[in-house]
Chain A
Amino acid sequence: MIAEIGHFALIAAFVLAAVQMSFPLYGAHRGDIGLMDLAKTTALAQFALVLLSFAALVNAFVTSDFSVLNVIQNSHSDKPLLYKISGAWGNHEGSLLLWVLILTLFGAMVASFGRNLPPQLRARTLAIQGMIAFGFIAFMLFTSNPFERVLVPPANGQGLNPLLQDPGLAFHPPFLYFGYVGLSISFSFAVAALIEGKVDAAWARWVRPWTLAAWCGLSVGIGLGSWWAYYELGWGGFWFWDPVENASFIPWLFATALLHSAIVVEKRDALKSWTILLAILAFSMSLLGTFLVRSGVLTSVHAFATDPERGVFILLLLVIAIGGSLTLFAIRAPSLQPGGLFRPISREGGLLLNNLFLSVAALTVLLGTLYPLFLDVLEAGKVSVGPPYFNATFGPLMVPILAAMVVGPLLSWKRGDILSALSTLWFAGTVALAAIAITLIYSGVDGILPAIGVGAAAWIIIGSCMELAERVKLFQSSAADTWRRLRQTPRSVYGMTIAHLGVGVLLAGVIGTTAFKTESVQNMKIGQSVAVSNYTFTLDNVVSLQGPNYVAERAVFVITEGDSLIASVNAERRRYPVEQDMTTEAGIHTTWLADLYAVIGEGSRSAGWTTRLYKNPLTPWIWFGTIIMAIGGLVSLSDRRLRIGAPSNSRKKAVSSRPIPAGAQ
């Protein structure tokens, strides 16, 4: 019964989406306030209905209702509660419902917080949201109904893929989708602005918080996925340039570019059509990612469905959304008012450089991801494109942007003075060059790229702090004056500094892990020791143990450095009898500077076990960096000027050309 309520709520949401995508759009055209306000009501009601539907699905999973096909295929009564709940979105149908839930959540937020939006813009934005919801709910109802029943319920379910039974992965999809789907708001705003034919500073200020929120979610989601791959797959790496990883990374790159270009629109009224294009591209890449992952054209752990009918349906959605929005862009963009002029060396120039490099880098990742598909379609042979391609293209493209991201904020708008900016950063520059030289001479690492990476990390971390110090005149002015400046600095500036710092920390972690790791593969018997860099791993014991729904073989490694005991870590191989599947749990001891990482393979007491041991320098910094970046985003989001629904304050008037209607609420 509850499953039917969920199904019915979804159908009702579908009907509401149809209303939301049509009448408000017409109302905005005619200037009919009543029809325009309809969008607000439908957006809120739609969210309530999809939430009800989602709750019904989670309920089916929690109560192990094996008359629902989806529950049979993805759950088992023995499963811990957390994985019963996360099992609801650990499959094709359920993950789509989560996708739509977050989509309608964003719609409801625009409806309720967007009180200071002009009614036309809000109606049109919500109408576009309605179209997206319409497409995806249709996709679910016609090809992927999560509430499908079976006539004869089996006694128990088939269980959930054990790889997905993990806390990191339980929360990975909600965050990732928050980012993916959050970009739909920027997209809807962009399309609405194209319909109106008007983009101005106020528009940019409305779009930025949504993009920022989506960007934070996407960053955390990608970070969680990477963290999971690191400890669960047991390969000692954090990023494999897998098509599915790329599918989330490409939208992230475009979203990052969009965040930065929206600043130029807000402050200088320039780069307007470019920003609109980025908003369209960022969400298009989310859709493309959804298509790649969901259609099964690329095989991976994530490819739940390999049903061609579903692939065609999503492809159709993709063509309509991307094709339609780009066509509209081609027609309307030339008529947008050109904005303020600026010189190449200026704040705008710096942000533009950021945009160009991020977009081009995203395109090379896209090319590498799709290339095997192209060749396959052309019957030109089966190939795979691995990490070497991405490292060889993405790496060099990141160097200029990493170098410039410290200088950019020091340049003034319109026309900047690069020499004065560089002279401010003399200390960071000296440290960076010294770091490069030391790495080249002492580390014995091949190639210049790792050394440049080390230098860039130092440059960004120190440079970002120096930029803030310069802004508040630290040590150049009295302490009281510095304090006053610190308090007056807007939160968005702190957000930028924190996020840029995070990039530096992340970069240090990435370089440390990829270029300086020590790996050792061998056979070990109990009591044997192996030296990994300056640490010694001793296989202390291997024991069997019983988990809630698995049996495990646990290896206990004792790690020592010289004579002192560092830690003892447990590496496990788990066997899940219901799913007939095995998983690996790496044993990790983390210091602030390195991860000591152990994995156990097959073996026995007499023959010994195959073990893989790593020292991964600075790996924890990858996660710290990601968290710092997301915190930076949140701090910026809390800026008064961007806060959702905050009343306009005096600072807005200087840049806003559009009157902000006060009577919208």
Chain B
Amino acid sequence: MRSRKRQRLWLVSLAVILLGGAAALAVTAFEENIVFFRSPSDIAEGKAEIGRLIRIGGLVEEGSVKRTAGSSEISFSLTDGGASVPVIYNGILPDLFREAQGVVAQGRLQTDGSFLAVEVLAKHDESYMPPEVAEALKKSGYWQENNAEEGMKGHTK
């Protein structure tokens, strides 16, 4: 039965090497690619690194959405009540992007304090509030009862 032991030995070593390699791969990938969520207040307090891919969430400030004529560039401000961050985005906004609506933007903080978004996410439901945004609003004390209700309703569809 020596050969059975040998077979088991190489099977186990192969599995261990593979798992180890995959774990190393996953850890490096996590270090480089995890996207942290920051609120506008975090950014105002200088908690977010410049130039790294992050997500910010908040309400689209009313009256802040500006389109440049003849260009696909859009700027708007995201607020959590405490602070607000100017966001620049070049592209098609999600269908449910509206003022005073909670959205999440993924992109990089620029040295001038603005946020260059590569992706803007608004969930496909009117009453939906991204949980990250709801939490950021709660933290900054901007959370209102009607928001709370809507947040609770979540995705009913």
Interface centre among A356, A384, A521, A607 (most CB of B within 10 A): A384
Assuming A161-B125, A581-B126, is B30 touching A389 (CB within 8 A)? yes
User: Cβ of A602: which chain B residues have Cβ within 8 Å of it?
Assistant: 92-93
Quick check: A392 and B11 within 8 Å, CB to CB? no
User: Cβ of A610: which chain B residues have Cβ within 8 Å of it?
Assistant: 72, 91-92
Is A385 interfacial (CB-CB < 8 Å)?
yes
User: Cβ of A599: which chain B residues have Cβ within 8 Å of it?
Assistant: 92
A interface footprint on B83-94 (CB within 8 Å = 1, 0 otherwise): 000000011110
User: Cβ of A397: which chain B residues have Cβ within 8 Å of it?
Assistant: 22, 25
Quick check: A368 and B26 within 8 Å, CB to CB? yes
Is A31 interfacial (CB-CB < 8 Å)?
no
Quick check: A364 and B26 within 8 Å, CB to CB? yes
Within 321-359 of A, Cβ neighbours of B (below 8 Å) are at 338, 341-342, 344, 352, 356-357
Question: Considering the chains assembled together, what is the distance between the CA atoms of A222 and B151 in angstroms?
Answer: 30
Question: Considering the chains assembled together, what is the distance between the CA atoms of A368 and B132 in angstroms?
Answer: 19
User: Cβ of B93: which chain A residues have Cβ within 8 Å of it?
Assistant: 601-602
Interface residue SS majority, chain B? mixed
How many chain A residues sit at the interface, stated as a range, is 35 or more
Question: Considering the chains assembled together, what is the distance between the CA atoms of A385 and B91 in angstroms?
Answer: 23
Is B124 interfacial (CB-CB < 8 Å)?
yes
Q: Pick from A360, A393, A521: contact of B72, CB below 8 A.
A: A521
Assuming A384-B55, A582-B95, A612-B92, is B72 touching A364 (CB within 8 A)? no
A32 CB to nearest B CB, Å: 39
Is A522 interfacial (CB-CB < 8 Å)?
yes
Quick check: B26 and A580 within 8 Å, CB to CB? no
Quick check: B72 and A392 within 8 Å, CB to CB? no
A548 CB to nearest B CB, Å: 19
Is B66 interfacial (CB-CB < 8 Å)?
no
Within 7-54 of B, Cβ neighbours of A (below 8 Å) are at 7, 10-11, 14-15, 18-19, 22, 25-26, 28-30, 32-37
B92 CB to nearest A CB, Å: 3
Quick check: B3 and A383 within 8 Å, CB to CB? no
User: Cβ of B32: which chain A residues have Cβ within 8 Å of it?
Assistant: 388, 392
A130 CB to nearest B CB, Å: 32
Quick check: B19 and A304 within 8 Å, CB to CB? no
Is A74 interfacial (CB-CB < 8 Å)?
yes
Is A382 interfacial (CB-CB < 8 Å)?
yes
Is B67 interfacial (CB-CB < 8 Å)?
yes
Question: Considering the chains assembled together, what is the distance between the CA atoms of A573 and B94 in angstroms?
Answer: 11
B interface footprint on A233-268 (CB within 8 Å = 1, 0 otherwise): 010000000000000000000000000000000000
Is B70 interfacial (CB-CB < 8 Å)?
yes
Q: Pick from B37, B91, B95: contact of A384, CB below 8 A.
A: B37
User: Cβ of A352: which chain B residues have Cβ within 8 Å of it?
Assistant: 11
Question: Considering the chains assembled together, what is the distance between the CA atoms of A409 and B36 in angstroms?
Answer: 45
User: Cβ of A160: which chain B residues have Cβ within 8 Å of it?
Assistant: 157
Q: Pick from A344, A364, A381, A385: contact of B33, CB below 8 A.
A: A385
Question: Considering the chains assembled together, what is the distance between the CA atoms of A521 and B72 in angstroms?
Answer: 7
Quick check: A299 and B92 within 8 Å, CB to CB? no
User: Cβ of B91: which chain A residues have Cβ within 8 Å of it?
Assistant: 521, 601, 610, 612
User: Cβ of A381: which chain B residues have Cβ within 8 Å of it?
Assistant: 36-37
Is A645 interfacial (CB-CB < 8 Å)?
no
User: Cβ of B135: which chain A residues have Cβ within 8 Å of it?
Assistant: 382
Task: For the complex, count residues of B whose C-beta is within 8 A of A.
Answer: 46
User: Cβ of A91: which chain B residues have Cβ within 8 Å of it?
Assistant: 157
Is A44 interfacial (CB-CB < 8 Å)?
no
Q: Pick from A356, A367, A371, A396: contact of B15, CB below 8 A.
A: A356
Assuming A296-B154, A338-B4, is B10 touching A344 (CB within 8 A)? yes
Quick check: B37 and A161 within 8 Å, CB to CB? no
B43 CB to nearest A CB, Å: 14
User: Cβ of B29: which chain A residues have Cβ within 8 Å of it?
Assistant: 388-389, 392-393
Within 355-404 of A, Cβ neighbours of B (below 8 Å) are at 356-357, 360-361, 363-364, 367-368, 371, 381-386, 388-389, 392-393, 396-397
A interface footprint on B124-156 (CB within 8 Å = 1, 0 otherwise): 111000111001000000000000000000111
Quick check: B22 and A304 within 8 Å, CB to CB? no
Quick check: B124 and A581 within 8 Å, CB to CB? yes
Is A583 interfacial (CB-CB < 8 Å)?
yes
User: Cβ of B157: which chain A residues have Cβ within 8 Å of it?
Assistant: 73-74, 91, 160-161, 304, 579
Assuming A299-B130, A356-B15, is B33 touching A392 (CB within 8 A)? yes
A555 CB to nearest B CB, Å: 12
Assuming A299-B123, A581-B95, A608-B70, is B35 touching A386 (CB within 8 A)? yes
User: Cβ of B10: which chain A residues have Cβ within 8 Å of it?
Assistant: 344
Is A584 interfacial (CB-CB < 8 Å)?
yes
B interface footprint on A42-74 (CB within 8 Å = 1, 0 otherwise): 000000000000000000000000000000011
A301 CB to nearest B CB, Å: 6
User: Cβ of B70: which chain A residues have Cβ within 8 Å of it?
Assistant: 523, 607-608
Is B71 interfacial (CB-CB < 8 Å)?
yes
Q: Pick from B71, B132, B155: contact of A523, CB below 8 A.
A: B71
Quick check: A364 and B71 within 8 Å, CB to CB? no
Q: Pick from B33, B71, B123: contact of A386, CB below 8 A.
A: B33
B89 CB to nearest A CB, Å: 10
User: Cβ of B36: which chain A residues have Cβ within 8 Å of it?
Assistant: 381-383
Is A141 interfacial (CB-CB < 8 Å)?
no
B157 CB to nearest A CB, Å: 4
Quick check: B7 and A342 within 8 Å, CB to CB? yes
CB closest chain-A residue, reference B30: A389
Is B96 interfacial (CB-CB < 8 Å)?
yes
Pairs of residues from A and B, 4 with the lowest C-beta to C-beta distance, nearest first: A601-B92, A582-B95, A382-B37, A306-B154
Task: Report B's interface with A, CB cutoff 8 A.
Answer: 3-4, 7, 10-11, 14-15, 18-19, 22, 25-26, 28-30, 32-37, 55, 67, 69-72, 90-93, 95-96, 106, 123-126, 130-132, 135, 154-157
User: Could you list 11 examples of A-B contacts with CB < 8 Å?
Assistant: A91-B157, A161-B125, A299-B131, A301-B123, A306-B155, A352-B11, A364-B22, A384-B37, A392-B29, A607-B69, A611-B92
Task: Report A's interface with B, CB cutoff 8 A.
Answer: 73-74, 91, 160-161, 163, 234, 296, 299, 301, 303-306, 338, 341-342, 344, 352, 356-357, 360-361, 363-364, 367-368, 371, 381-386, 388-389, 392-393, 396-397, 521-523, 573, 579-584, 599-602, 607-608, 610-612
Instruction: Given A161-B157, A521-B91, output 7 extra A-B contacts at Cβ < 8 Å.
Output: A296-B154, A305-B155, A356-B15, A382-B135, A392-B33, A599-B92, A611-B72
